[in-house]
Amino acid sequence: MAAGATEAVGQGKDSEAGRSSRGTRKVRAGQTGGAEIQRFFLAKPGGSHGVPEFSKEFPGEAEAMVESLKTGLSYFVVSEWRGIADFSGKKPQLGREAVRNAPKAG
């Protein structure tokens, strides 16, 4: 009986992983009720591996991608979220909402 329960859990994880790999940012942002604001940064040359270090910010992903190709450096896509809680039902529901601060040029 325990083997059947293990298989059911394993199957659930596989189907969730399949859904998340095919999902898009727009769908996830729509589920939260907010529009995701993304910012694009080039990695700092010689930065430590494992800790993201940003150098220049770009207005869009195309510009960041071109600079990444020119320099051989990675680029980062960053989005900012705030945790929210809904206590109106019997079980508290946790969620997130996009922070709508305008990106600073820099």
Backbone angles phi and psi of 79, in degrees to 5: -130, 150
pTM for this predicted structure: 0.56
For residue 31, give both structure tokens: 């589920």
At 101, the pLDDT band (50, 70, 90 cuts) reads: low
Q: Give domain limits for the chain.
A: 25-98
pLDDT digits (tens, 9 = 90+) for 40-84: 999 998 877 778 889 999 999 999 999 999 999 999 999 999 999
Q: Are 32 and 97 in contact (CB under 8 A)?
A: yes
